Amino acid sequence: MKLFKFAQSRSLWMMHFCTGCGAVELPPTMTSRFDMERFGIIPMATPRQSDLLLITGYLTVKTLKRVVRAYEQMPTPRYVIGFGSCTINGGMYWDSYNVIKKLELYIPVDLYINGCMPRPEAIIDAFLKLREMIDKGEANAWKKYIENYEWYKKNQAEVFDVEKWSLKK
């Protein structure tokens, strides 16, 4: 249904779960100078109500456990945007023992924004990019998570005790 596709792209509810140093970029995007609400993106309090998860910056193992749980609690279809290079290859924490290097291995990511913390304009641009991807129907990373669920779980198991943290579907 085209109307639903249109609605899904126009109203993205963002999970206000700022994980890394990029979180400080979000307030300016939300408030009057850049105003992301123009595009129908408002921060929501709980994963149940939101469909967009922002991984802003480096992701330590500790926060990864919470992120995976939040991700699984979000209703499908859900999208993930990775901020900065830390989500791509670990960035400057490439050799740190507690930062995960590749976000891809653990949760499927739709979109990356490069820049060691992208400015609000880049973020707004990413949101519009995501809107196009949804319109074109390309943004279905969440299907990948469901299809090769075991692969993701295996990767996660390497890093933390999956049994305790992941939801029993």
Partner 1 sequence: MSILYFFLYLLLVTIIGLLYMGAARKITAHIQNRYGPPVYQPILDVLKLFAKKDTASHGIMHSLGPVIAYTGIAATLLFLPLGNHTPLLHFNGDLFVVLYLLVVGPLGMALGAGESANSNATIGIARALSMMLGYEIIFFMATLPVFYHYGTASIYRVIQAQGAFPDWAAILFPISFIAGLFALQGLMGEKPFELVVAPHEIASGPMVEYGGKYLGLLQIWHAVGIIVETGLFVDIFFGPQSILWFFAGTFIVFFATVIVNAVMPRFRIEQAVRFYWGLPLLLSILGILQVYIWR
Partner 2 sequence: MTVEETIKKDIETTFGELVRVEIERKHRVRAYTPRNMVLPMLAYLKQRGFHQFTLLTCVDWIKDGKFELVYNLYSLNYNVHVLISTKINRDKATMPTAINVYEMAFDYEREIHEMFGVEFEGHPRLDEFLLEDWKGIPPMRKDFDTRKYVEEKYGMKDLTKELFTRKEQPYRGPGSNG
Partner 3 sequence: MAMFYLLLLLVLVGIVSFVLGPIKVLRNIIAFLGAVTAFFYFLTNIKPGLIYSLNIRVYNVHFEAGFSSMFFGVIITALFIIFLIASFHEENDGAYYLFAYLTLTGALAVLFAKDLISFFFFFETMSLFSFLMVLKGKSDTSFRSAFKYLVWSVFGGYAFLMGTFLKVYYTHSVMIGDISYLAGGVKLLILILLLAPFAVKAALMPFHLWAPDAYKDSKDTFTVFFSGGLSKIGVFGYFLVLFKVFTEIAVKYPYFLKAFAWLGAITAALSGIYAFMQDDAKKLLAYSSISQLGYVAVGFGIYTHFSVVAALFHALGHAVFESLLFLVVAGVYYRTKTTDLRKMGGLIKRMPLSFIGLLFGIIATSGIPPTIGFPSKWLLYEALILKGDLLLTSLVFFASITAFLYSYKLVHGIFLGKLHEEHKNVKEAPLGYAFGTVVLLVPLLVLGIIPGLVIKPIDYIVRFYLKPELGYNLANMNTPLGHVNFPVVGLVMGLTFALSLFIYLIAGKSYRAEQTDNYTATEAIDEDFELHYAGEFYGFMKKAFGRPLTWSFEKILNAFLKLFSFLGEVARGFYMGDARVYLFYVIAFFALLAYLMGGKL
**Tokens found for residue 32:** 């009057």
Q: How far is residue 82's CA from residue 54's CA, in Å, rounded to a whole number?
A: 6
Is residue 8 part of the contact set for partner 1 (CB under 8 A)?
yes
Q: Which position among 10, 69, 102, 154 is part of the footprint of partner 1 (CB under 8 A)?
A: 10
Is residue 31 part of the contact set for partner 2 (CB under 8 A)?
no
Q: How far is the CB of 165 from partner 3 (least distance, A)?
A: 5
Task: CB nearer to partner 1: give 65 or 78.
Answer: 78
DSSP labels, 94-157: TT-TTB-S-GGGTS--SEEE-SSS--HHHHHHHHHHHHHHHHHT---HHHHHHHTHHHHHHHHH
Binding mask 64-83 for partner 2 (x = CB under 8 A): -x------------------
- Contacting residues toward partner 2, per CB under 8 A: 61-62, 65, 89-90, 94-98, 100-102, 158-161
